[in-house]
Amino acid sequence: MFEHSKSPNNDRRSGAGQNPGGNSRVAQASDASRRRVTHWIPACAGMTMAVISATCATQAAAQTYPAKQIRVVVPFPPGAFNDTLGRTIAQKFVETGFAQAIVDNRPGAGSTIGTDIVAKSPGDGYTILGVAVPFAVNATLYGKLPYDTLKDFTGIIYAGATPNMLVMHPSVPVGSIKELITLAKAKPDQLNYASTGNGTSNHMSMELFKLMTGTKITHVPYKGSAPALVDLIGGHVMMIFDNTPNVLPHVKANKVKAIAVTSTKRSELAPEVPTVIESGVPGYEVNVWFGVVAPASTPRDIVNRLNSEINKIIAMNDVRQRFVNGGVTPVGGTAEQFTDHIRIEVAKWGKVVKATGARVE
C-alpha cells in the first residue's frame, strides 16, 4: 500500500496498452490509500503529542512541587492521635520549610465524609488524608461508599501503631481472658461492651474476639472514647477495647481493671498486662495503625517526595517523643509498603465484618 502511494507512475507504465480499466482502478486505489495515510498520520501525531504533553506536565509539576499550601484532611474530630498526627505533619512541613500546610478536620459518618473529600480532590499532592483502621474496615462495613478504598487512594506512609487494651468495670467478676470467655458463654448476650462507633478499632477488636472465641457480647456504640469511658467508669457498660494511652490513666487510678492487650507482644506502657494471644486465643491480633494516603492519581514522584519528608518527620526526636507520649510506636517505611498494608487490612476486616454480620447502610 505504501509503495503504491509513493510510486504511482510505475503502476501506470506496467499497465500501458494492456488493461486501461484496471490501470484506472489501481490509480484510484492508490489515491484512496494516500488519503487514508494522510489522515492517519496527523491523528497519530496528535495522540503522541498529547501523551508527551501530559507526561511533561506531570514531570514539571513533580519538579516544582510543592508550590502552594498542602491541606492535611483529618476525617476525625480534634483530640485523638489521628488529629495529633495530622497536626504534627502540617507543623513540621512549615518548620522545615518544605511547604505551607493546614489541617482540615472533617469528621462524621465513621470518617467517610473526610475520606470522600480527598477521594474527589485533584491528584496533585496538595490534598492528603490521615487514615486509621476505619479506613480499611469501612470498605466492607458500609453497604455503599461514594469512593473505592483500594482504587481511589494510594498509600504515602505507615506512620505508627498502638495496641488496644481490654479493660473492665471492677464489678465484672472477670480477671482474665479465659474467665471472660467462660462467663460470656454461660451468659450469651447478657454482657455488653462499649465502642467509639461502628467500624472503629474498638468495635472490630471485640467483633474479632467474639468470632474467634464463639462468644456473644452486646455492642453499645458511643460517639467517641471520652463518653464511652465515662459510662464504663460509671458502671453503665461492662468493658471496652480502647487505645492503651486512653485507658491506662484509669487503670492506674483503679477505676477500671486491665485484662489484656491486642498486640502480639506486651505493651511497653503496661508490661504487666498479658496479650490476648498468651491469654488463650492463638492468632488474635489487632494493631491500631495510623497513616497517610493521597488520591490514586497523584504522580509517583510526588508520593515518594511526601513519603521521604514524612519519614524524616517521624525520625525527629521531638516527634518520636510525641508519639511515645501518645502510646504510639513510630513505624515509617515506603509508600508501597503502606499500600500493601491497606490491602491486607481491607481483606482481614472484610472477613470479620461478613462473618459477624456487622453492617452500616
Residues 153 and 87 in one domain: yes
Report the C-alpha gap between 240 and 131 in whole angstroms.
22
Examine the fold and report which residue of 33, 59, 85 is the final residue of a domain before the chain moves on. 59
Q: Give the count of domains, the chain.
A: 2
Find out whether 202 and 240 touch, Cβ atoms under 8 Å.
Answer: yes
Residues 153 and 81 in one domain: yes
Report the C-alpha gap between 230 and 47 in whole angstroms.
63
> Which residue is listed with cell 505551607?
100
Mean pLDDT value across residues 281-289: 95
Residues 81 and 9 in one domain: no
Grid cell in block for residue 184? 460470656
* Cβ neighbours, 10 Å, residue 80: 20
Regarding predicted confidence, which is higher, 275 or 3?
275
Mean pLDDT value across residues 270-284: 97
Is position 14 within any domain?
A: yes
Is position 219 within any domain?
A: no
Is position 240 within any domain?
A: no
Residues 46 and 100 in one domain: no
Residue 241, strand partner residues = 166
CATH code, 319: 3.40.190.150
Is the pLDDT reported for residue 197 higher than 90? no
Grid cell in block for residue 260? 489484656
Is the pLDDT reported for residue 217 higher than 70? yes
Residues 80 and 21 in one domain: no
Which pLDDT does position 43 carry in this prediction? 46
Report the C-alpha gap between 205 and 288 in whole angstroms.
9
Is position 40 within any domain?
A: yes
Is the pLDDT reported for residue 2 higher than 60? no
Which pLDDT does position 53 carry in this prediction? 54
pLDDT band (50, 70, 90) for residue 258: very high
Is position 32 within any domain?
A: yes
Regarding predicted confidence, which is higher, 28 or 227?
227
Is the pLDDT reported for residue 104 higher than 90? yes
What pTM did the predictor assign?
Answer: 0.78
Which pLDDT does position 26 carry in this prediction? 40
As a whole number, the mean pLDDT across the chain is 87
Q: Tell me which residue range forms the domain holding 314.
A: 70-157+295-344
Residues 45 and 78 in one domain: no
Find out whether 310 and 155 touch, Cβ atoms under 8 Å.
Answer: no
Is position 99 within any domain?
A: yes
Is the pLDDT reported for residue 296 higher than 60? yes
Task: Report in angstroms the alpha-carbon separations of 320 from 119, 136, 196, 216, 245.
Answer: 29, 25, 26, 39, 15
Residues 76 and 142 in one domain: yes
Residues 75 and 34 in one domain: no
pLDDT digits (tens, 9 = 90+) for 143-167: 899 999 999 999 999 999 999 999 9
Residues 124 and 145 in one domain: yes
Is the pLDDT reported for residue 172 higher than 60? yes
Burial class (CB in 10 A: 0-12, 13-18, 19+), 18: exposed
Residues 55 and 76 in one domain: no
Is position 42 within any domain?
A: yes
Residues 85 and 118 in one domain: yes
Helices in the chain by DSSP H: which ranges?
A: 2-6, 8-14, 20-64, 81-95, 112-119, 133-141, 177-186, 201-213, 225-233, 244-252, 300-315, 317-325, 335-356
Residues 42 and 106 in one domain: no
Is position 103 within any domain?
A: yes
Q: What are phi and psi of 155, to 5 degrees?
A: -70, 145
Grid cell in block for residue 211? 468470632
Is the pLDDT reported for residue 24 higher than 60? no
Share of the chain above pLDDT 70, in %: 83
Burial 339-361 (b: 16+ CB within 10 A, else e): bebbeebbebbeebbeebebebe
Which pLDDT does position 60 carry in this prediction? 61
